[in-house]
Amino acid sequence: MSTQEFAGYSITRNLAGGGLTRLYVALDAQQTRVVIRHLTADSVRIRKLRKSFFHSAEVMEKLHHPNIVRFIRLGYQDKVPYMVLEYVESRTLRDLILYRDPLLTNNVLSLIRQMANGLAYVHAQKYLHLDFKPENILVRNDGQVVIIDFDLAIRSKRWTKKIKQMPGTPSYIAPETLTKHIVDERSDIYSFGVTCYEMLTYHKPFEGDKLDQVRLAQVDPRIPPTRLKQYNPQVPAALEALVLKCLAKKPEDRYPDMALVIRDLEALI
């Protein structure tokens, strides 16, 4: 496998990939930049990882929305499965939060609304993302949000679904998922709430010196999240109330679907 060519694409540079996949920026035959993602040699041998890879491609192929990364194709190169995605000139929301970037601070409500629209579309297509967090949100220089990474996405049901393995990153996982391994649209809404909280305060709703204490606070119904205004007095009361409703410990106290989140976001001036 040439380091300069892959499946007919010309590799221009590497991107940071996970331990299971490799990511490259490449040029297609029309000299358009794309992203190629493929499993590592070790990952290809594991059936479960191959299945997850193909599943994420299947999900993305069905999603067509301006706030969701565009899927281009799936293929094989020397028995290695790969997918081609649109290239998004961007930074992650995590980077914008870390550096308190003006692109975030000057456009935070617009970014939150776009995130909500993208996640609402995912739910409307009967999927749960289950890994919604700043690392999986790209923000272009023009302020457009693009949601990525559907490796953990599953079909949604009209009822809560019990899952075998814990999805995503613990800080963004809803309490009922951490304790009972159940998920539905409200699980994503909780993750959306944590992400919004970070965008507005540069903190997580539950923080502490010891990880065990943080996890306990996250699931204990008697311990509310720190009020946003404690970190950022400029957060409007209505926006703080919206985020805290997304973060309700009991799923029945959260927004039941993203359409209502969008309704309340649109009511904000």
Domain CATH code at residue 98: 1.10.510.10
Q: Do 169 and 146 contact (CB within 8 A), yes or no?
A: no
Is 164's pLDDT higher than 80?
no
Same domain, 195 and 68: no
Decide which of 3 and 29 is more confident.
29
Q: Do 11 and 3 contact (CB within 8 A), yes or no?
A: yes
Which residue, 86, 104, 127, sits at the end of a domain? 86
Same domain, 141 and 210: yes
Same domain, 109 and 242: yes
Average pLDDT over the chain, rounded to an integer: 93
Q: Do 86 and 18 contact (CB within 8 A), yes or no?
A: no
Same domain, 45 and 127: no
Total count of domains within the chain? 2
Over residues 164-176, mean pLDDT: 86
Decide which of 51 and 16 is more confident.
51
Same domain, 206 and 260: yes
Residues 6+ apart with CB under 8 A from 69: 60, 85, 86, 88, 138, 146, 147, 148
Same domain, 102 and 116: yes
For residue 160, what pLDDT is reported? 79
Same domain, 162 and 209: yes
For residue 145, what pLDDT is reported? 98
SS3 23: strand
For residue 269, what pLDDT is reported? 67
Q: Examine the residue annotation and report whether 151 is marked as an active-site residue of this protein.
A: no
**Encoding tokens for residue 66?**
């301006």
Which residue, 68, 86, 104, sits at the end of a domain? 86
Of all residues in the chain, the percent with pLDDT exceeding 90 is: 80
Is 18's pLDDT higher than 70?
no
The residue among 255, 184, 178 whose CA lies nearest residue 220 is 178
pLDDT tens readout for residues 76-93: 998 889 999 999 999 999
SS3 200: helix
Same domain, 132 and 218: yes
For residue 189, what pLDDT is reported? 98
Same domain, 111 and 137: yes
Q: Do 155 and 126 contact (CB within 8 A), yes or no?
A: yes
Is 3's pLDDT higher than 60?
no
For residues 176 and 251, what is the distance between their CA atoms, to the nearest angstrom? 7
Parent domain of 153: 90-267
Specify which residues 139 forms β-bridges with.
91, 145
pLDDT tens readout for residues 45-58: 898 888 889 999 99
Domain CATH code at residue 76: 3.30.200.20
Same domain, 66 and 117: no
Which residue, 63, 86, 109, sits at the end of a domain? 86
Q: Do 47 and 81 contact (CB within 8 A), yes or no?
A: no
For residues 90 and 18, what is the distance between their CA atoms, to the nearest angstrom? 18
Q: Packing angle between helix 185-201 and helix 108-124, nearest 10 degrees?
A: 170
pLDDT tens readout for residues 106-158: 999 999 999 999 999 999 999 999 999 999 999 999 999 999 999 999 999 87
* Annotated catalytic residue within 42, 95, 101, 131: 131
For residue 1, what pLDDT is reported? 46
Same domain, 106 and 198: yes
pLDDT tens readout for residues 102-114: 999 999 999 999 9
Over residues 225-243, mean pLDDT: 97
Over residues 160-186, mean pLDDT: 88
